[in-house]
Amino acid sequence: MEIPAIVGAGLVVIGAGIGIGRIGGSAMDAIARQPEATGKIQTAMIIAAALIEGIGFAALFAV
């Protein structure tokens, strides 16, 4: 394993964590503003978080 690949994978994982955190925070704001749309917001949040997490896992396995 090369050092730049490990650093790159680490940056991808950090970015994925930040992205998932922002998705969760934005979803909580949206739910607070429109409680009746909770189901739709949660579904969209889970799908987006799963896609971002998949990219993070792919970066770890690529190293």
Q: Is 16 exposed, middle or buried (0-12, 13-18, 19+ CB in 10 A)?
A: buried
C-alpha dist (Å) from residue 56 to 9, 32, 49: 8, 29, 11
CATH architecture of 14-62: Up-down Bundle (1.20)
Q: What is the pLDDT of residue 35?
A: 96
Domain ranges of the chain: 14-62
Q: What is the pLDDT of residue 63?
A: 74
pLDDT band at 1 (very low <50, low <70, confident <90, very high): low
Render pLDDT for 21-60 as a digit per residue (tens, 0 to 9): 999 999 999 999 999 999 999 999 999 999 999 988 888 8
Q: What is the pLDDT of residue 40?
A: 97
**The two three-digit tokens of residue 56, written as one number:** 């993070």
With b meaning 16 or more CB within 10 Å and e meaning fewer, what string describes 35-48?
eeeeeebeeebeeb
